[in-house]
Amino acid sequence: MLQIYNTLSRSKQTFIPIEPGRVKIYVCGMTVYDYCHIGHARVMIVFDMVVRWLRASGYSVTYVRNITDIDDKIIHRAVENGESISELTKRFIDAMHADSDQLDLMRPDLEPCATDFIGQMQDMIGRLIENKLAYQGEDGDVNFAVRLFPSYGRLSGKSLDELNAGERVAIGSGKRDPLDFVLWKKAKAEEPSDSRWQSPWGEGRPGWHIECSAMSCNILGQNFDIHGGGADLQFPHHENEIAQSEGAFYGKSRNPDEKPFVNYWMHNGHIRVNEEKMSKSLGNFFLIRDVLKSFDPEVLRFFILRAHYRSPVNFSDLQLEEARSGLVRLYTSLVQTPELELLGDDLKNVMELAGVNDWINRFKNAMDDDFNTPEALSVLFELASEVNRSQGELRLNLARVMRVLAGMIGILQRNPVNFLQSSVGDSLSTEAIEMQIAARTTAKQVKDFLWADIIRKTLLEQGVVLEDKPGGVTEWRRV
């Protein structure tokens, strides 16, 4: 059975969905004021993998990932650019989708924008005020009273006494306690008109934390299966989501027989650069679109999947080159089975093949162990070695199961020859390679074997391997 590491319990737990056969999952998405970086790529790839595996396991999945299209950074950037907020956010939503499509990610089933749920946010804030968990300060902001919610800190493991208010929570003049966080921000006179909405507490806009509570609960219900996001969101964002959601539903405390906001909390690890956390403040972040100028999108996906989703990942060109080499090795094992391109295999089909059940079981056991993609990939590498050693029907059967299993985590679905010959960035073009091969063929025909050998060595130095086949045919691939 599937085991998921639940951040709330700090342990692996058997996954039992609220409704048999169905999973509801919400993932915190992007704040769209700039292009997506590789930290965003990790969140998108990790939960794309999670949803793919849940569906491959037979669950009907409703996958929701929100878009934050109103916050301080968005307002500042729009004013700075001299454009409306809607123009700015549309441009970067389109860019996010373009990056996602290049990475061959599934679109979420629902992708709500915060500005479409302002009314629902106000309703939730109103309930918190009624439950004596929120108040309007002298500055006009509406704040959540953290110390009045007894179980605050369950997710992060932080006690109220050890929390450093100045570290993550800005202290406003209208707050009764520095730990309190804002639910509704009063509009400032200098802010543009498209950044404010009417409310019972005056013109303003929602705080960031209330956005996700309102969207997730209104779409998936007051209790749903999985909530995911990056490790940096565990505190305070997800901690605050629990407090304001359960505070709105149940008041100051939840009885044991009352359902929690979320059953399983999942958090992927940080991206690190030179062993430092990647962040815009440190200036060590990389945009997805810039990385893809030098590396194939599937290489970036493979790089992310090589590490367990909860582990930190160190990002570098060397790491991406190693990922590319691994992916080349897997695709190379499939080159000798062109019949694959004619088969529309799925797991049900390949389970009936001879000699494959052990591979399927090992892959499944790895993925059911908290989505252990490193172990699952090791199964694929062993399978690739078996494919290379095998012949005839057994080779084809192993290649078929290898491709089906890989497809469950979103890799190895392209034509192997096309992948191995694909070029990115400054790589030698296909046309240039084929011109060199033609020149080498001519050299061999006139018995100028020295020149033919020079061409082969030159191409190898440029990352292209030639393989001479019977009948005078030369095949090639990149390494």
**For residue 153, what pLDDT band results from cuts at 50, 70 and 90?**
very high
pLDDT score for 439: 61
pLDDT on residue 173: 67
Highest mean pLDDT among 156-165, 218-227, 414-423: 218-227
Is the pLDDT at 161 greater than 90, yes or no?
A: no
* pLDDT confidence band for 281 (50 / 70 / 90): low
Residue 384 pLDDT > 60: yes
Which comes out higher in pLDDT, residue 350 or 165? 350
- In tens, the pLDDT along 408-446 reads 999 999 988 888 888 776 566 777 677 667 768 776 775
Q: What is the structure's pLDDT at 339?
A: 77
Provide mean pLDDT across the span 151-178: 74
The H-assigned helical ranges of 335-372 are: 347-350, 357-368
Weakest-pLDDT range from 10-14, 227-231, 401-405, 433-437 = 433-437
The Cα 226–Cα 4 span in angstroms is 10
Grade residue 167 by pLDDT with cuts at 50, 70 and 90.
very low
Measured distance CA(240)–CA(223) in Å, rounded: 16
Predicted pLDDT at 168: 47
pTM, two decimals, is 0.89
Site of tokens 């001479």: 468
Which CATH fold would you assign to the domain 293-421?
Four Helix Bundle (Hemerythrin (Met), subunit A) (1.20.120)
Please give the mean pLDDT across all residues of the chain. 90
3-state helix, strand, coil in the chain (%, to 5): 45, 15, 35
Q: Alpha-carbon torsion 457, 458, 462, 468, what sign?
A: negative
Residue ranges of the alpha helices (H) in 174-238?
A: 208-220
How much is the average pLDDT of 98-122?
A: 98
Tokens of 35: 């292009």
- pLDDT of 390 > 50? The answer is yes
Q: pLDDT above 70 covers what percent of the chain?
A: 92
Q: Which residue has the higher pLDDT, 282 or 333?
A: 333
Task: Report, as an integer, the average pLDDT of 232-261.
Answer: 94
Least confident range from 322-331, 407-416, 448-457: namely 448-457
Cα(332)–Cα(478) distance, integer angstroms: 10
* Segment 18-48, tens digit of pLDDT: 999 999 999 999 999 999 999 999 999 999 9
CA atoms of 313 and 234, how far apart (whole Å):
18
Q: How far is CA 453 from the centre of its chain?
A: 45
φ, ψ of residue 261 to 5 degrees: the values are: -60, -50
Q: Domain 14-273 sits in which CATH superfamily?
A: HUPs (3.40.50.620)
More confident residue, 353 or 313: 313
- pLDDT of 229 > 80? The answer is yes
Determine the pLDDT at residue 469: 79
Query: 223 falls in which pLDDT band (50, 70, 90)?
Result: very high
User: What is the C-alpha to C-alpha distance for residues 59 and 25, in angstroms, rounded to an integer?
Assistant: 12
The Cβ of residue 149 has, within 10 Å, a number of other Cβ atoms equal to: 23
Query: Which range is least confidently modeled, 77-86, 131-140, 413-422?
Result: 413-422
In terms of DSSP bridges, do strands 22-27 and 60-65 run parallel, antiparallel, or are they unpaired?
parallel
Residue 356: the pLDDT is: 86
pLDDT at residue number 166: 44
Distance from C-alpha of 216 to C-alpha of 199, rounded to nearest angstrom: 21
Residue 165 has pLDDT above 50, yes or no: no
In this prediction, residues 384-396 reach a mean pLDDT of 90
For residue 222, give the DSSP letter.
Answer: S
Number of residues in the chain: 479
pLDDT number for residue 456: 79
Q: Give the start-to-end residue ranges of the domains of the chain.
A: 14-273, 293-421, 430-478
Alpha-carbon span 26 to 66, nearest angstrom: 8
pLDDT on residue 243: 97
**Most confident range, picked from 219-228, 349-358, 459-468:** 219-228
